[in-house]
Structure 1
Amino acid sequence: MFVVTLTYTAPLERIDALVAEHVEWLDAHYASGAFLASGRQVPRVGGVILARAQSREALDAILAQDPFGRAGAAVYQVTEFLPTKTAPELAPFAVDPV
């Protein structure tokens, strides 16, 4: 599983102009099962995505298509982690500790 932190590199006016296209991109990856949760950071300096892509390379390919990144309006930090303990609702995403 991955935590993706987006940091805006453009003014919010530019971000706002890209939001509709970004939401379409998010929707496509929710439909594929790659994204589990997403939202704005507080304060509004970027966003966070909880992803379960097949690999880091697969996630990088997905992120390369984000309208924010394609427009040079955001940069990404990706942290991979193994969810060994979860709330009951997230149990299907847990992995056995090794």
Structure 2
Amino acid sequence: MFVLELTYTDDVARADALMDAHIAWLDAQYAAGVFIASGRKNPRDGGVILAVGDDRAQIEKIAAADPFSVDGVCTYRITEFYATKTAPELAPFREQLPS
């Protein structure tokens, strides 16, 4: 599993101008089964996305396609972790530690 932390590198007004395109990009990743949660940070200096996938390169490629990334509005910090314990509703996403 991956935590994608977005940090705005430009004025929030620029992010707002790209928000519809960003939301369409989010929706496509939810439909593809890659994203399982997302939202704004508080204070509003970016956002956080929880993503599932086996390949960090794939997640990096997806993040690079975000309209916020394409237009230089944010940077991404991607952290991979093993979701060995979850709420019951997230049980399908539980992972085993590698051997």
Q: Which residue of 2 aligns with 1:58?
A: 58
In 2, Cα distance between equivalents of 1:5 and 1:86? 20
* Structure 2 spans left out of the alignment, 5+ residues: none
Q: Which residue of 2 aligns with 1:34?
A: 34
In 2, Cα distance between equivalents of 1:97 and 1:10? 38
Normalised by the size of structure 1, how large is the TM-score?
A: 0.96
Deviation at 1:28?
0.3
**Aligned length in residues:** 98
Q: Which residue of 2 aligns with 1:67?
A: 67
Deviation at 1:97?
3.8
Normalised by the size of structure 2, how large is the TM-score?
A: 0.95
1:68 counterpart letter in structure 2: F
| SS of equivalent residue, structure 1 residue 3 | strand
Deviation at 1:96?
2.5
| SS of equivalent residue, structure 1 residue 4 | strand
In 2, Cα distance between equivalents of 1:89 and 1:27? 20
In 2, Cα distance between equivalents of 1:54 and 1:63? 15
Q: Which residue of 1 aligns with 2:22?
A: 22
In 1, Cα distance between equivalents of 2:55 and 2:22? 22
